[in-house]
A = this chain, B = another copy of it.
């Protein structure tokens, strides 16, 4: 099942509408090869439709996060970045606070962590995955 169908189904299920702007943002997200800021996504949307507003892009990204189509995280510079999940499973992010790079960790690899927190603190971690801050191998050597 494609992202478009996923989107249509998610929206219908929640009584939400499939708008031209939402289709556009999803299409742009498909083109991304790396996580992008809202501003970068907005710029690409604007090359295809002059009238879309930045606040619409922010609202759409927020919605897509709720629908697990997108994963958002702060790369350490205060600017949120968004990554297309599409039909891929959500995953955890290891985000380097120096260079901003994000490493993916499958949810299953940290299953014992989430189980421990559920058992000990009755805390259910975000099913969309966690964002863990630190420093990557490359930046540790610097």
Contacts and interface: CB of A to CB of B under 8 A. Distances in A.
A133 B140 CA distance: 26
Interface in A88-142: 94, 96-97, 103, 105, 109-110, 113, 116-117, 120-126, 130-137, 140
Contacts of A97: 126
Interface of A: 74, 94, 96-97, 103, 105, 109-110, 113, 116-117, 120-126, 130-137, 140
Given A97-B126, A103-B121, 15 more contacts: A74-B74, A94-B117, A94-B121, A96-B123, A109-B120, A121-B137, A122-B140, A123-B132, A123-B134, A124-B135, A124-B140, A125-B134, A126-B133, A130-B132, A130-B133
10 smallest CB-CB distances across A and B, nearest first, come from: A122-B137, A125-B134, A126-B133, A94-B123, A124-B135, A124-B134, A126-B134, A113-B113, A123-B134, A130-B132
